[in-house]
């Protein structure tokens, strides 16, 4: 089985949504993801990349319904890794695959790609 997922997002769009609905960050991101982003100069940039990673993983695995908490990207940089939980972990196991991700961002856009191996 192989699969690829890709997602792009305007960073300001996520920043505005979180500003309007403060509880949204808790629903979308794990504690480790929020802590990592909070340690950076522009947290929204890093949260947006993680949002894209979650979407990309769901696309690669062919998931239609899933929990945002089931995909976790707790660190950044070259050692960025994805940790799957719940339904996502079960789906990857069912398919017999591992998920590799790559994150990127500019000042305005964030993106991620997920590849099943």
pLDDT value for 79 = 62
Domains contained in the chain, CATH given: 4-116 (3.90.470.20)
Q: What is the pTM of this model?
A: 0.94
Per-residue pLDDT at 99: 95
Task: Work out the burial of residue 99: count CB atoms within 10 Å of its CB; fewer than 13 is exposed, 13-18 middle, 19 or more buried.
Answer: buried
The stretches in the chain having pLDDT less than 70 are 1, 77-79
Encoded tokens for 17? 């949504």
Please give the pLDDT value at position 1: 53
One-character DSSP codes across 76-106: -GGG---EE-HHHHHHHHHHT--EEEEEEE-
Per-residue pLDDT at 88: 97
């Amino acid at each position: 089985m192989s699969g690829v997922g890709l997602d792009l997002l305007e960073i300001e769009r996520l920043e505005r949504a979180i500003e309007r609905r403060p509880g949204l960050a808790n629903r979308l991101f794990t504690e480790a993801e929020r802590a990592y982003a909070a340690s950076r100069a522009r947290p929204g940039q890093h949260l947006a990349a993680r949002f894209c990673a979650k979407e990309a993983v769901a696309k690669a695995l062919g998931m239609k319904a899933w929990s945002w908490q089931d995909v976790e990207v707790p660190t950044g940089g070259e050692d960025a890794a994805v940790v799957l939980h719940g339904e996502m972990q079960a789906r990857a196991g069912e398919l017999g695959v591992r998920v590799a991700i790559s994150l990127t961002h500019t000042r305005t856009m964030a993106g991620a790609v997920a590849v099943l191996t």
